[in-house]
Structure 1
Amino acid sequence: MTKPQVLFVLTSHSELGDTGKKIGWYLPEFAHPYNVLAPHSDITVASPAGGKAPLDPSSVEYFKDDAECVSFHQEKAALWETTQKLSDLVDSADRFSAIFFVGGHGPMFDLATNPTSHALIRNLHASDRIISAVCHGPAALANVRLHDGSYLIADAPVTGFSDAEEDAMGFTPYMPFSLQEALDRNSGGRFEKAGGNMEPWVVVAKGGKLLTGQNPASSKPLAEEILKRLREG
């Protein structure tokens, strides 16, 4: 039986403004979903610029006691060091059964407004594919307009990294916009979040075709929901 193809998208952005702090994609938000989905799907990894996609070094430190993350970091570097360029995939988007945007602060700076990424998402939506993202990954979805001009997330429950969580991490002053506000505005007030910071929260919308997770703790349960929808066909 042919395995479904899943496209993982990483950020290409590595700098937090002029602070000198390195950012990028977040380790558990790639490691855990990859480990859930890889045995059951063929995974392609891409980024806006292609080539090496920057890993947020703080995520390596924060998750140094997570054996799954440590193993992934040590053994799977080729996945993020040799990513395909998003622009090379736009015209063949319908070969993928699902797209998954990995979080980290980087997507707030590139994928949120990247026209190639938006075109890819539009094409996948038109082909009735699964569109998913975790933590700051939903920044890639927040501003996407479909072929009819409506927002991808219009009238759909959605989640992503909350203002309270951003405040707790001390990143709010450095963000180009509030992810929570953008998701809430363009969904028509449908933003959801867990009762407490960093608690897992996964939202399934549009008949299982739009799936979002709030934070790093949501990465694995979100991937399990994606796998469930892939198996349902």
Structure 2
Amino acid sequence: MSTKRILAVMSEYGYWGIELVGPLRKLEAAGYTFDFVTPKGKRSPCLPPSRDTTYIDPPLGVCVTTPTDKALVDAFEASGALDATLNLSQMFPERPYVSRPDFLRELEAYYEARKAAQAAAIETYDAILLVGGSGPIIDMVNNQRLHDLVLGFHAADKPIGAICYGVATLVFARDFNERKSLLLGKHVTGHCIEYDYHDGTGFMGTDLNMGPPPYCLEYLLADAVGAHGQYHGNFGKGTSVIVDYPFITARSLQCSHEFGDRFVDVLSKGMKRSGW
């Protein structure tokens, strides 16, 4: 049964404005409403370059924030929609360390609590959206609770959308026992190496300049899909959006609006494959 609700997962260290607002406005126009969640419930800050129409993206050598996109993001930020951000750590349990003295009993309790949390999320939402930007590198990509959310939607065969570095979460979201990639045999896109910074990968709330990203997402995705899947960088093309159900993946900010269109197609028109 459709609830017409989507859960957008965001980083507490910064999201790229249009990578949320682009798909959000398309989905809202199709009748969907949104809830927002971060790992610990702190409001996700908007990365300043994503609201700066003079910012020149180093790899691309052009301004990537259009006046129209800035206006959309500014209006969203002013709406207060993120003031009611949910706390993922209160929705999903933490898996215990194997060093815990009563590990087996705690692991059994964890699985029961996880099952209930997944069922609640699946009943409440039609899909999840993993929002991009640099922030996800810190607190989304290797977040066990977020992995469990993704695993729940994957098992329920419900849509999972991800853009930019939000896509990296899909590489690491694996069953704790099987440890196999959910992306095996799938077609996906994501931040290609040509788009990676050489320097300046930064985060909100910290002065850390990581330099380049700590990993090459293209290589991770190319390995995760295995011999029978494919990573599509589509470098040189203006956009790259791939639907291989239940996954809807988008390369970067330029794809935000098209990403929203394909998300609507999946939810409203039953699209299962697009982009390759």
Give the TM-score normalised by the residue count of structure 2.
0.73
Aligned pairs for 1:1-233 (under 5 A) are 3-13=3-13, 24-39=14-29, 40-62=31-53, 65-77=66-78, 78-90=80-92, 91=117, 92-95=120-123, 96-146=125-175, 148-167=178-197, 171=201, 173-188=211-226, 190-196=230-236, 199-205=238-244, 208-232=245-269
Match of 1:16 in 2: none
Deviations along 1:171-220, whole A, 9 cap, x unmatched?
484322111111111111621111317x2111111xx3111000111111
Aligned residues: 220
CA contact (8 A) 1:4 1:230 kept: no
Pair 1:88–1:45, CA change in 2 (3 A)? same
Pair 1:216–1:110, CA change in 2 (3 A)? same
Q: Which amino acid is the alignment partner of residue 112 of structure 1? A: V
Distance 2:167 2:77 in 1: 24
Larger radius of gyration: 2
Distance 2:199 2:22 in 1: 22
**What displacement does 1:122 show?**
0.6
Deviations along 1:100-133, whole A, 9 cap, x unmatched?
1111011112111001100110111111110110
**What displacement does 1:29 show?**
0.5
Pair 1:2–1:132, CA change in 2 (3 A)? closer
Q: Which amino acid is the alignment partner of residue 56 of structure 1? A: L
Distance 1:211 1:88 in 2: 27
Give runs of ≥4 in structure 1 deviating > 2 Å: 62-69, 74-77, 79-82, 87-90, 146-149, 167-174
Distance 1:176 1:195 in 2: 21
CA contact (8 A) 2:18 2:73 kept: no
CA contact (8 A) 1:10 1:102 kept: yes
Match of 1:18 in 2: none
Distance 2:66 2:195 in 1: 21
Pair 1:129–1:88, CA change in 2 (3 A)? farther
- State percent identity of aligned pairs: 25
Distance 1:110 1:216 in 2: 20
CA RMSD of superposed structures (Å): 2.3
Task: Give the 3-state SS of the residue equivalent to 1:44 in structure 2.
Answer: strand
Distance 1:38 1:104 in 2: 21
CA contact (8 A) 2:167 2:190 kept: yes
CA contact (8 A) 2:7 2:129 kept: yes
Task: Give the 3-state SS of the residue equivalent to 2:35 in structure 1.
Answer: strand
Distance 1:154 1:30 in 2: 27
**What displacement does 1:84 show?**
0.6
CA contact (8 A) 2:42 2:87 kept: yes
Unaligned runs of 5+ in 1: 14-23
Q: Which amino acid is the alignment partner of residue 230 of structure 1? A: L
Match of 1:20 in 2: none
Deviates more, 1:51-60 or 1:65-74: 65-74
**What displacement does 1:170 show?**
5.7
Match of 2:99 in 1: none
Unaligned runs of 5+ in 2: 54-63, 93-116, 202-209, 271-276
